[in-house]
Amino acid sequence: MKSRLLALAFASLFVAGTAYADAPACPANLDKTACVYFKEGYAAGMDDAKAKMNNAYQRHEDSYDSRFESAFSKGYEQGFKDGQK
């Protein structure tokens, strides 16, 4: 059982890492921290689009600091758009 859970954990990290790695370059006006939130938003948007969910970055409000909501939402919108292709 433990080995199965470990395998699932590694698989989810691999899948999430793939979307994160596929994220486009951050907009030039974002600092390093905002860029991280942009890429996390991109991965979340991509996942939601592929799962045929509604476009709603607010569903992930526990995934970002409110100070970086704008960066997360911009990344999410781009990821959701790209995930629909």
Write the pLDDT tens digit of every residue in 13-50.
Answer: 444 455 566 788 999 999 999 999 999 999 999 999 99
User: Counting Cβ atoms within 10 Å, is residue 28 exposed (0-12), middle (13-18) or buried (19+)?
Assistant: exposed
| Residue with the larger pLDDT of the pair 19 and 51 | 51
Q: What is the pLDDT of residue 6?
A: 37
Is 36 strand, coil or helix? helix
Q: What is the pLDDT of residue 19?
A: 55
CA gap 37, 67 in Å, rounded: 10
What is the pTM for the complete model shown?
A: 0.76
Phi/psi of residue 27, nearest 5 degrees: -55, 145
